[in-house]
Structure 1
Amino acid sequence: MKIMLAAMAALLLPWAGAGARPVSYPGGMTLMQELDPMMASALLHISPTRHYSLGGRLLRMREEGWTLAGAQATWLARRWNMPAAQANIYIAGLAGGAWKDGGALRPAGFLEAQADWENRRLMVMGMARIIHAEGISTSDMQMARLGFAPYEGDYGDMHLWLFAQVRRQSSGHDEIQPAAVARIFYRTLLVEAGVTDRGGLILNSVFRF
């Protein structure tokens, strides 16, 4: 019940969702990489339309010592285009297999909800994920961010965002982890670097082709 409530909260809150937008322009290909003290992940996907993307993800749960690989689908469930702002809600699911170091392959997957709201100077984001690997682990995660841009850039300029982030992982030793993250976005390249309150490294990137 606790896990289901976490997922429903992410779908209902108008500001839930974290990370770069996971659906590209029609025909666009995207490579997304994530690294933090709890997990490391790489996702390669293509967007047949602007409404959904399909691809493959490799995810390593660093603290727990197991790995998940599978096919992921992401759907842009809703977009609001406002005169000076935009908001989005995404739903994603992955089905595949997981293995603990030296162990057998087990069925596994996750369900994820994201959303974001932003204008040219402010951004609010969040995400909730339920992840299950049969016989290995079941956990839930929520993350929220509040960010601002120190300056307003035009299209094609280099953009800078500064975020305050908080993340909760039910399976982690550090169940709640605050962090500070800086994002640089230039054309089709996005890079993030940050640090948690315990000195853990956060390093994310997005490349669109």
Structure 2
Amino acid sequence: MPGRCLDVKNLADDNVSVPPSPRQDRIDSWLAEHAAELPNIDLTVEGVVDRLFSLRRHLQRSMDATLAGLGLTWEDFKVLSTLGISPSRRRSAGELARKLEITSGSMTNRIDRLEAAGLVRRVPNPDDRRGVLVELTSEGLAAWQRSVEVQAGREQEIATAALERDELEQLNGYLRRLMLVFEDAGGEADAADA
């Protein structure tokens, strides 16, 4: 079913299926300003995509602020998170590097930094005496869990300030359908990218 083009110059109730916001955001302004230059673009789709990208940037900045307040970086968090969701809370450095799609040298630097902070430790690999595993310490687990809790609280404040519970559930369903388009096409379904 083809998308309906949204007339951003006239956001009347009959142009959208949900009540429009009483205010326009910067995406509305940009689309209205450039609509004539983009006659073959579905402005509704463009608005959704632009808002998703913009929200991703806002949420990343929020996460960065949360982590900085806890003495962590995004890179630290990704390592702690990957270990935190591992059943044994440990992985080889090579597995971590592959999972996080970084070089082994970058992974070594991250592990060194986290080990110096007492958040991870290197332990012998029981399955390979030549290898070592990177293991989350109790301090690392606590730091990871705390960062997730603090950020989840911020995200809840943001979401519930704008949307009711039923609207959040509806939005979640729509976003899931969009995600499945990529997953069904063979895109990576990695919850850790969230």
TM-score band by shorter chain is: under 0.3
> Which protein is bigger by CA-based radius of gyration?
2
TM-score in terms of structure 1 length = 0.21
Question: Which has the larger share of helix?
Answer: 2
Which has the higher relative contact order, 1 or 2, with Cα contacts under 8 A spaced 6 or more apart?
A: 1
TM-score in terms of structure 2 length = 0.22
